[in-house]
Amino acid sequence: MSFVAAFASAQAVLQCLLPSADAQLQAGCAHFVVGVMMSPYFPFDSKFYRSWLNTAPLAETVLFRIAHSPRLSASRFRIVARFIGCAETRPRKPGEPKPVKAAVFSSTHTASQPFLHIEDVPHPTLEAGHLLLRVVACGVCRTDLHIVEGDLPALRPRLIPGHQIVGEVVEGATKELPLGSRVGVSWMGGVDGSCWFCHHSMENLCDHPVFTGYTVDGGYAEYVAARSDFAFPLPPGLDDEHVAPLLCAGIIGFRSLRVAGVEKGERVGLFGFGSSASLAIAILQSWKCEVYVVTRGESHRKSATLMGATWVGKEDEKPPVPIDRAITFAPSGKVVVSALASLRKGGVVAINAIHLDQMPAFDYDKLLWGERQIRSVANMTRQDARDFLQIAHDLHIRPNVTVFALADANQALEAVKKETEQGSAVIVP
Ligand SMILES: [Zn+2]
Ligand SMILES: [Zn+2]
């Protein structure tokens, strides 16, 4: 019998065993299942495999057993770990840290289920060039909502979201980021440093980026690992909850002002007034700009008025004067067209949204002619982060926050979805 035939028949035998393994696992006996999963013939696409690993307590049991099995080769473990989407890349040894609590998103999630499951996951391990952080706060961003609602494609079967991480360095300290220091980690979790964009000061457009809480696990957890060259020392003077929303909403809001080319004293429209816009307004005011806010949510209109916007209107209203720049924050193409309709000739609309529902057709002659521009805002550079954190410190920017426990991560996402949060939602594990 050829090797291929032998492999196929072994796999066929194993397929027959799977229902029985499923029954045993449901009955609480993981041993047999672990044996099956570690077989070199294990069919990774099996529906049982997925259902086992998406049953939280059982997934942990199975993973734990696999990690502790002396029979498992390192390469086999890596395959299992990659499939599961866990950060661990080698078997845990006795005495290594206990699992940590995290809010986990599964790619098999359906609309009737909560977005995230709170469960124990393996303690993240430290790789070269990384820090291990104890998470003290993690901001909730609309991008997290796009991930769990499937607007952005799932890249891993299991994922811990969260990319506005305030953490304390507990391992992997560097000279700049010593043990016990407080650092921030944002959406941009790493770049390759070698592509055309990285060589042209556009690392935000890197061909092989790492996105925190999307391509790697993020901060809706007690601990997280992050690249040390993408962690920023945080300004003192702001507590953990209040500094968290600065790390994406703040930095990318600031980058949007750069992309729109805002100059001092200009008239600037903010279309949408969630976390990001409410941080950008402070910078615009320090630049003596007039700020025109158009937003759907009544509570958001109230906040804009309280924060001193020059003019505040509903979603179907238009600023009373032509504006020089507009930044749109809503994930809606219609809003981009409204912003365009408010611009003077030569003005710019910058779209601060990773996802738009669609871009409706619009009248070129009336809306884009006259050298008006539409630009998207993609990610951020480390320089954006450093510059914004300095400005936030100098201007004493202090966001309004609503704090949620890690166990209430789903409520935090709901609050962002329904725009009921006051300022920015922040999870504190
Ligand atoms: Zn690159
Ligand atoms: Zn974000």
pLDDT band at 272 (very low <50, low <70, confident <90, very high): very high
Ligand nearest to the CA of 152: 2
pLDDT in tens, 22-41: 565 555 444 455 555 555 55
Residue 275 sits at the vertex; the CA angle it makes with 273 and 278, to the nearest 5 degrees, is 55
Q: Which of 332, 319, 134 is nearest to 223 (CA)?
A: 134
Please provide residue 166's backbone torsions phi and psi, each rounded to the nearest 5 degrees.
Answer: -105, 120
For residue 219, the tally of other CB atoms under 10 A from its CB is 32
**Angle of the 30-38 helix axis to the 74-84 helix axis, nearest 10:** 110
Query: Is the predicted pLDDT of residue 220 greater than 90, yes or no?
Result: yes
Please determine, for residue 249, whether its predicted confidence score (pLDDT) is greater than 60. Answer: yes
Residue 393 has pLDDT above 90, yes or no: yes
Ligand 2 centroid to Cα of residue 187, in Å, is: 6
What does the block give as tokens for 16?
Answer: 């027959």
What ligand is nearest to the CA atom of residue 379?
Answer: 2
The mean pLDDT value for 99-116 works out to 91
Q: Residue 218's closest CA among 191, 185, 182, 252?
A: 185
pLDDT at 111 over 80: yes
| Contact present, 379 and 205 (Cβ < 8 Å) | yes
pLDDT(258) > 70: yes
Half-sphere exposure of 256 (CA within 13 A, CB side): 31
pLDDT score for 3: 45
Q: Are 250 and 388 in contact (CB under 8 A)?
A: yes
What stretches of 39-191 show up as alpha helix (H) in DSSP? 47-53, 56-68, 74-84, 142-148
In sequence order, the β-bridge partners of residue 427 are 138, 404
CA–centroid distance, residue 143 to ligand 2 (Å): 5
Looking at all shown ligands, the one closest to residue 244's CA atom is 2
| 216 CA to centre of ligand 1 in angstroms | 17
Beta strands in 95-148 (DSSP E): 100-106, 117-121, 130-139
Burial readout 265-304 (b: 16 or more C-beta within 10 A, e: otherwise)? ebbbbbbbbbbbbbbbbbbbbeeebbbbbbbbbeebbebb
Using alpha carbons only, give the angle 139, 142, 145 rounded to the nearest 5 degrees.
Answer: 100
Smallest-distance ligand from the CA of 193: 1
- Which residues in 178-332 belong to E strands, given as ranges? 182-185, 188-190, 210-211, 223-227, 231-233, 267-271, 290-294, 311-313, 323-328
Q: How far is the CA of 103 from the centre of ligand 1 (A)?
A: 30
pTM reported for the whole predicted model: 0.76
- Is residue 302 pLDDT above 60, yes or no? yes
What spacing in Å lies between the alpha carbon of 379 and ligand 1's midpoint? 13
Residues in the chain: 429
Alpha helices in 90-162 (DSSP H): 142-148
Smallest Cα–Cα separation from 350: which of 249, 424, 262? Answer: 262
